Structure 1
Amino acid sequence: MCGIIGIVGRDEVSGRLLDGLRRLEYRGYDSAGICTIHDGGFDRRRAEGKLSNLAAKLAHDPLPGISGIAHTRWATHGAPTEDNAHPHIVGDVVLVHNGIIENFKPLRDELIADGRRFLSQTDTEVVGHLVAREIERGLSPQEAVAAVLPRLHGAFALALMFRNHPDLLIGARLGAPLTVGYGEGENYLGSDALALAPLTQRIAYLDEGDWVVIGREQVEIFDRDNRPVERPVTISGVTGALIDKGNHRHFMQKEIYEQPVVVAQTLQSYLRPLDGKVALPIPDSDLADIRRVTIVACGTSFYAGMVAQYWIERFARVPVEIDVASEYRYRDPVMEEGGLALFISQSGETADTLAALRHAKAGGQKVAVVVNVPTSSMAREADLLLPTHAGPEIGVASTKAFTCQLAVLAALAANLARAKGRLSEEEERRIVRHLAEAPAALNGALAYDEMIEKMAHMIAGARDVLYLGRGPDYPLALEGALKLKEISYIHAEGYAAGEMKHGPIALIDEAVPVIVLAPSGPLFEKTVSNMQEVQARGGRVVLISDYDGIAQAGDNCLATITMPKVHPLIAPLVYAIPVQLLAYHVAVVKGTDVDQPRNLAKSVTVE
C-alpha cells in the first residue's frame, strides 16, 4: 500500500515520476500527487482517486523541474481527499510517507502548542513540521532529519526534499521498504525495484532503521545510530517494460490464466522428476531435528498455510500450529527449541508478517519464508528462502501467487517427511509424480471458464454466499469466500462443511447460494452428506467436483462445475481455479473494479 518514487535528476522528471506511479498502482491507493522543485520553489499537483485524474491535471498544467518526489496514498489518517494527498509541503520541506506514525497525536499536540498550523488530517504532516522546525532553528536538512527520526514511532518509509537544496533527497525506513537506485548523473528513491525499473537496474535495499542522503552524484547511507554504512548494490533484474494485460480484460483474469505456467516454473525449482526426488535448498540434516512447525501469514497466504498444515502433519508427522500474523506476537507464543517458523507472503513486505518473523527469530526459531519477491525484507532476513516463481502479480486479489505458494508448501512437506524418515522412496516418487501433474490439471480446470462465466449471473444478485469444504478443501472454501467479497463486495463466508449443523445452517434459505467444494476422495461422502443437509432446508447448491462426484451428487443442484479428476494432494491447487474464476466473473457482472477493489492494497505495509 502507498508508493514512493523520487528523482534527483538531470532532465525533466514529472513524466518519469508519473510513469513510476503507474508501476506502483498495483500496491493499492486512493489519491496521488507529484511535487517538483523549480525556480527556487515547490510546484505540486495532487488528485483524489485514480492516477488518471492526476495525469489529466498534469496534461492541463504541466510540472517543470529536474528533481521531485511522487506518491500514491492509501488512506490511514484522514479521508482520501486532495488536501490529505501527498506530497505535503511544510515551509521549506516537502515530503511523502508510507506507513503510520503511531505517536503522531502527542507530536501534533506539541507542534500546535508551539504555534504551528496544520493543513491536513494526516500523520505525515507531523513529520514535515518537525523537520521544518529544526531547519528553522538553524540545522541543515541532514541534521534535522537525524534529529527527528528517533522521535517517530511506528512503521514508515519517508522521502523528503528541500526548497533551498534542489539537488538533495533524503529517505528513511523503519518497518516499510525503501530502495535506492543508482544512475548516471542522477539517483533515485523508490518503494521497490519495480518503481525504479525503467530508470536503473542498479539498486540497494535500505536495512531497518537506515536513512539515506541522495544527490545527483553521490549516495550516503546511515544506520539508525547515524553511522555511515555500505549496503550492497545489486542488479535488480526487474524489466523496465510496463506490465500489460495482453488480450485479457483485467490483470486478475490474465494472472488466473498464467497459473499452469507459473506453477510449472515454481515446481521446476523443487522437483527432480527423473529420479523422483524433492530438492529444497537445505540439507535433510537441517530439517531432521525440527520438532514443531509454526506457520504465520495473512489473508490468502494464511489459507495456503492452512493447507500446508494438513500436508505437513500427514506426511512428516510433525505437529503444526498456524497463526494469523497480526495476532502472533500478541498472544506471547511458546517458542520451543527445534521449532521452524514458516512465514508466507506474496510481497515479502507485509508489516504484520514481517514483525512476526522478527519476533520468532528473536525467540530462537529457525525462520523459513515462502515469498514471491526474493529481494524483499522477509527474504533477506530468513534462514531459509523458498521463493515462488509467480512473476509480478498486479491484481490486488491474489491468484497465481496462491497456487505457487501451495506448490512450494507441498514440496516442503514432502522434503520434511523424507528428512524425518517418514517417506519411502516409492512414496516420494508418487508425490513428485502427482505434483508434476498439477500444471496440466490446472489447464484442464481453466477449460470450464466459459461455463463458470455463464453461471456467474446466478450468484451476482445474492447478498450472502456460503462456501463449504472439508479437509484441505476447507481452506479453499475460506479462500473462495475471501475472493468473492474482495472483488464483488458480496458478503461471503467459508465453513468446514461438518460445522454447518453447529450454527451456520440457520442462515440457509433460497436467497443464499452455497458453493460446495467436494473432489472425489476420502472425504467426498461426508461432504455430500453435509451438502444434502443444506439442500433439505431449501439451500441452492453449486457443486464443484469431478465427473464421478457430479454423477453421484449433482442432482437437485442449482449448478455444477466439473473439474478434472486429480489426486487429493493436488486438489487444492486445481480447485483454486473455479473459485477464482467464479469470483472474477461475478465481479465483472456487478461492474466492480476487479484489479483494484475499494479499500484494499496489494502490499499491506501497516499493522
Structure 2
Amino acid sequence: MSEVSVLGYIKEQPERLRYVFDHKDVFIQPFLEAIKNKKKILFFGSGTSYNVSLLATYYFKHLCHMDAQAYYPNVFQYYEQPDWSNTLQKEDILFVGISQSGTSVSTCEVMEFARNHGYSTLALTGNLDSKICEFVDTKVHLLVGDELLPPETKGYTVSVLTVYLWAAALAELNNDKEVDDFISQFQTVIDESEDWYERNKVTIVNSSCLYAMGYGIDYATAIEAQLKIGEMLRLPIVGYEMVEYSHGPTMALNPKHTLFMIGSDEVEWNQMLTYRKAFQHYTDRVHVITCKECEHDERDLVFSVKTNKYLAPLMYTIPFQFVAAKGAKDIGIDTAINPFEIALAHYDE
C-alpha cells in the first residue's frame, strides 16, 4: 500500500498497472458490448481526463480505423454536434465520459445531454456510485483504487492503459505479451525518471518558465505535463505541439527557460533532434525524454525500457510527475493542499 501522498501514488504505479492488466476483463467486456455496431466514438473529459481522451482518439483512429474525437464537455455542448455531416444515425455514435471521481460537473452535464437526446452513453469512472453514473447506459470501473489527493498521477496512467486496452481489444491486436512485458519493467521507468529529476532539479525548479513539447501521439503527454506541473510545482509552463512552438514562441527564449522535448517514435523524430540543436543556442536547459536511442547527456532521459509508440506515453509522463511532485516538495509546496478553495469544477463528493 502506498503512502497517502502524491509521491506515494507515483511510486505505486508499477503495482497498480499490474493489477489493471491482470483484471482487464472487468473493463474490456462491457466496453466491447457498448461499442458493438458503432461507427463513431466521442470522448469527453476535463483536466487529466481530457488528456486521456486525446490519447484515446489516437488509439481508436490509428489502431481501429474508427472515427474518434475528443472534446472539452462544455465546448461540445455549446458549439459542436455529434455528426456535422448528418450521415450517421444516433445509434451509430457512442458518447464516453471519463471522470475518475465521477463528479466533474461539465462531463456529467454532457453525458446527461447525450442521453436525453437518444445517444448511447458510457462512463469510465473510479466510483460506480458517483454522479456521472446517473446519466449513462453503461458504467465501466476505472481500476485506479484510492487516490485521495487532487493531482491525479496513477489515475492518468491507469486511464491511459484502460483506453489502450479497449482499442487493442477492438482491433484484435492479441499483444498481451508485449503489454505484460512492458508493465513488468515499469519499476525501472519509475527509478530512471526519479534519477533523471534528481540530477537536473536545480535548474528545473529555478526556471522562469517551462515548456513541454510533444508531437504525434505525445502532444497529449505534453499537455498532461503542463497540467501536472501547473498543479503542483506552480511555475509558468506551457504545453505545445512541437512544430507550433517554433512559430513565434521561440522569440521569448532565454537562458532561464527549461524545455522538455518528448521524443516520440513518429515521423518528426529527426525534426525533433534538429530543433533540439537549435534551441540549445539559446538555453542549455533542453531535455529530451524518449526510449529511442540518440546522442544524449545528463540532461536527457533515454529510458532503458523499450516499447512501441502506443504504450510509450505511459512512461513518458512519469518524469513530469516527478518534476511536479518532487519539485514542489523541494521548494516547500504541500501538494496535499488545494489553495483554490472555491468549488467550480466538481459536485460535492
TM-score (norm 1): 0.53
Q: 1:478 to 1:569 in 2, by over 3 A?
A: same
Distance 1:520 1:468 in 2: 14
Which structure ranks higher in relative contact order (CA pairs < 8 Å, sequence separation ≥ 6)? 2
Alignment-derived partner of residue 51 in structure 2 = 303
- Matched ranges for 1:268-347 at <5 A: 268-270=22-24, 279-283=28-32, 287-335=35-83, 336=88, 337=90, 338-347=92-101
Contact residue 74 and residue 106 of structure 2 kept, 8 A:
yes
- Matched ranges for 1:462-477 at <5 A: 462-477=207-222
Alignment-derived partner of residue 135 in structure 2 = 381
Equivalent pairs counted in the alignment come to 340
Aligned-partner SS, 1:490: coil
- Matched ranges for 1:7-406 at <5 A: 246=3, 251-270=5-24, 279-283=28-32, 287-335=35-83, 336=88, 337=90, 338-406=92-160
Structure of higher CA gyration radius: 1
Distance 1:307 1:601 in 2: 30
More helix by share: 2
Q: 1:523 to 1:444 in 2, by over 3 A?
A: farther
Alignment-derived partner of residue 187 in structure 2 = 443
Distance 2:342 2:267 in 1: 38
Which AA in structure 1 matches 2:188? G
Contact residue 2 and residue 11 of structure 2 kept, 8 A:
no
Q: 1:601 to 1:294 in 2, by over 3 A?
A: farther
Alignment-derived partner of residue 559 in structure 1 = 299
Contact residue 349 and residue 603 of structure 1 kept, 8 A:
no
Q: 1:602 to 1:396 in 2, by over 3 A?
A: farther
Q: Where do 4+ consecutive residues of structure 1 move more than 4 Å? A: 519-523, 600-603
Which AA in structure 1 matches 2:110? A
Distance 2:100 2:309 in 1: 25
Q: 1:291 to 1:539 in 2, by over 3 A?
A: farther
Report the CA distance between 1:434 and its aligned residue: 2.6
Distance 1:291 1:565 in 2: 33
Distance 1:602 1:565 in 2: 42
RMSD over equivalenced CA pairs, Å: 2.5
Report the CA distance between 1:279 and its aligned residue: 4.3
Unaligned runs of 5+ in 2: none
Which AA in structure 2 matches 1:280? Q
Which AA in structure 2 matches 1:315? L
Unaligned runs of 5+ in 1: 1-243, 273-277, 419-427
Aligned-partner SS, 1:530: helix
Distance 2:250 2:122 in 1: 39
Deviations 1:389-413 (A, max 9, x none): 1111022111011111011101121
Deviations 1:515-563 (A, max 9, x none): 11114565432322332332244452012123x53xx2325xx711232
Alignment-derived partner of residue 517 in structure 1 = 262
Distance 2:287 2:64 in 1: 35
Sequence identity percentage: 19
Which AA in structure 1 matches 2:295? A
More strand by share: 1
Deviations 1:380-432 (A, max 9, x none): 432222222111102211101111101110112123334xxxxxxxxx122x2
Which AA in structure 1 matches 2:235? I
Distance 2:65 2:206 in 1: 45
Distance 1:460 1:595 in 2: 19
Distance 2:256 2:32 in 1: 54
Report the CA distance between 1:600 and its aligned residue: 6.5
